[in-house]
Structure 1
Amino acid sequence: MNGPVVGVVGAGAVGQVLAAGLVSVALPGRLVVVSRRTEQTRALVADLEDMALSARSRTRVEAGDVADLRRCDAVVVALRTDFTNSAVQDIRRGGATANAPVLGALARGLRGYEGSVLVVTNPVDLMARRFAEVSGCARVYGIGSNLDSARYRLLLAQYAGVSPDRVRGHVIGEHGDRAVPCLSSTTVDGLPVEGRTRAVVEGLQERPALIRAGIGRTRCGPAGAVVSTLRKALGLVDGVEELSVPYGDVWLGIPIAFTGGVPAPCCPPLTRYERLSLDSAASSLRDAYTYLPALTERIPA
């Protein structure tokens, strides 16, 4: 079977949509689904096999375990433990205590893995750092700021009455309350943005709540961000993605340019206000990381 081998860890809402997206575009030659819930995994694999045949996708889908992930070219971590998120601020950080131990246990099982790891599990800036530090993997990327950036460009395009491909701009920092829109370097048709930026930023902040209120959890947007990043991380196309990677002694979102699968930071020039906002996000994430729970020795049943 030609094409890269991709593993998806997690068969919940995000994992299901993500796996379906990968099969629909036939990005992997083989897709390995891993989850702690065996019955759910078997059911998802069967459903995806039906989809692959109906859509004439060349992707072969199979269930696997953590050991099988080592033979993958890339692994996407979309696991989520059961918890009730009662946070009213820093909502994406609400799952830190619940998700950190199980993600750390997975990272232990993938120590020394040489492929690319894309972490979707929230709070993604903290979880990507935890995974990288425990696993020792060199190519770990947190998915979040590229979704924020896509939303930002979409909203700005709608306000400007143009197609999104005519907008250039980034959202960096935390995938959460401390996201930093790079207004000073944003352009439409190559020209600086004037007016309406406040409405765009407000729309960016309100969009996740709009989605949660209607369908309970964002799932399609993150799946699209993963597909876009996989293409670049696997060297299938070149381009830029805003990803959570090391930034000093913390992890947060900055633009990364991929050329032939090789990543390089490419952060735009920042104004003093944007730099201070980014430093504030870094400080908050630094403090939040110290409150993560200790690692467990195995993935809980």
Structure 2
Amino acid sequence: MTTTIGIIGAGAIGQTVSNTILASGIADQLLLASRTLVQAQALTDDLDDMRTSTGAFTTLLGCRPEDTTTAAALVIAIRERFTNTHQHDIRMGGAANARAIRDLGRRLRGYTGTVLIVTNPVDLMARLFAESSGCTRVYGIGSNLDTARYRLALSSLTGVPADQIRGHVIGEHGDSAVICASTTTVNGRALAVPVREIRKTLADRPGSISSGVGRTRSGPAGAVLTTLRLVLGQADGTTELCTEWIGHWLGVPMTFTAGQGKPTLPVLDPTEADRFTASGNKLDTAYQALATIQ
């Protein structure tokens, strides 16, 4: 069976996601859309050069966003122009991106596949797209990137390889993220996590990357690739995604089997539980303000 993936957005993130998917070989066809057909075709041509050079089998097609609805999964990485003056508050892009996400949701209303939102503030944009499109399988990419960074930070501190560390970062993809320190393990054994130090490391990392190369690209692309394999049923496993959880939209672990996902919230200690509740309330308040933007 042919696997088709659509990517909407030809900016820095959209380009890197497209490159990553093409190189991975997980799709038989990529549908590439952007604000204009000129942008979509330019990205298609650039990727076609890569495809020919590497001998990749994936076919490429530049198109309008409405033409991507035949895809099994869509990756949305559109971004309006704005300057984020709050490096540690990912919600600052909300007003700039909300109109574009709402409009795109309406244009794609009735789509029955899986939608991965990369556009920031990702938790708010995932909810906005879901509500404006009516799509039932919408996930925000954010908490899985936070979790990867968490494991890397612990690996750096402890000298233990990151693949031996199990733990989650949930809640907001932003300054109210919840580090699940109480259930973090190394090879199945509990680990004493220096939460304050780790929190600072996680908060500083995006700004450090952006100041050096302009914007984070590869981390989000890796999170997208991992999630696509799960939602398309190409692999089973657990990753952290923004989805609806008891009336809130925020990051929780999702366990996928044969492409079907189920939220699996870890056991939280009282401090983590309070922070998780506060994170949900914060995002709800921010979303209510965002919903008034037309």
The TM-score with structure 2 as length reference comes to 0.96
Q: Flag the 1:33–1:124 CA change in 2: closer, same or farther, 3 A.
A: same
Equivalent in the alignment of 2:131? 133
1:53 is displaced (CA, Å) by 1.5
- What is the SS of the residue equivalent to 1:236? coil
Letter in 2 for 1:213: S
Letter in 1 for 2:107: G
| Counterpart Cα distance in 2 of 1:145 and 1:171 | 6
Q: For residues 205-284 of structure 1, what are the structure 2 equivalents within 5 Å?
A: 205-284=203-282
1:119 is displaced (CA, Å) by 0.4
1:65 is displaced (CA, Å) by 1.2
Q: Flag the 1:85–1:30 CA change in 2: closer, same or farther, 3 A.
A: same
Equivalent in the alignment of 2:36? 37
Task: Encode CA deviations 1:133-177: one digit per residue, 9 max, x unaligned.
Answer: 111111000000000001101111222212111000000000001
Does the CA-based 8 Å contact 2:181-2:193 persist in structure 1? no
Equivalent in the alignment of 1:57? 56
Task: Encode CA deviations 1:224-264: one digit per residue, 9 max, x unaligned.
Answer: 00000000000000011100001222200000000000110
Task: Encode CA deviations 1:186-241: one digit per residue, 9 max, x unaligned.
Answer: 00111111254443332122111111111121111001000000000000000111
| Counterpart Cα distance in 2 of 1:192 and 1:18 | 35
Equivalent in the alignment of 1:286? 284
| Counterpart Cα distance in 2 of 1:225 and 1:78 | 13
| Counterpart Cα distance in 2 of 1:104 and 1:23 | 28
- What is the SS of the residue equivalent to 1:291? helix
Letter in 1 for 2:39: Q
Does the CA-based 8 Å contact 1:104-1:134 persist in structure 2? yes
Q: Flag the 1:235–1:145 CA change in 2: closer, same or farther, 3 A.
A: same
- What is the SS of the residue equivalent to 2:235? coil
1:19 corresponds to 2:23: no
Q: Flag the 1:86–1:196 CA change in 2: closer, same or farther, 3 A.
A: closer
Q: In the comparison of the two structures, how many residue pairs are matched? A: 294
Does the CA-based 8 Å contact 1:104-1:295 persist in structure 2? no
Does the CA-based 8 Å contact 1:97-1:293 persist in structure 2? no
Q: For residues 93-242 of structure 1, what are the structure 2 equivalents within 5 Å?
A: 93-194=91-192, 196-242=194-240
Equivalent in the alignment of 1:299? none
Task: Encode CA deviations 1:14-64: one digit per residue, 9 max, x unaligned.
Answer: 000000000011111000111113322222111101111212211111101
Does the CA-based 8 Å contact 2:41-2:62 persist in structure 1? yes
The TM-score with structure 1 as length reference comes to 0.94
Which residues of structure 2 form unaligned runs of 5+?
Answer: none
| Counterpart Cα distance in 2 of 1:197 and 1:102 | 37
| Counterpart Cα distance in 2 of 1:31 and 1:169 | 33
Runs of 4+ in 1 over 6 A off after TM superposition: none
| Counterpart Cα distance in 2 of 1:264 and 1:7 | 24
1:89 is displaced (CA, Å) by 4.8
Identity of aligned residues (%): 46
Deviates more, 1:182-191 or 1:154-163: 154-163
1:293 is displaced (CA, Å) by 5.1
Does the CA-based 8 Å contact 2:88-2:174 persist in structure 1? no
Letter in 2 for 1:115: G
Which residues of structure 1 form unaligned runs of 5+?
Answer: 297-301
- What is the SS of the residue equivalent to 1:241? strand
| Counterpart Cα distance in 2 of 1:277 and 1:105 | 33
Task: Encode CA deviations 1:47-99: one digit per residue, 9 max, x unaligned.
Answer: 10111121221111110112221101000000001122223552x11110110
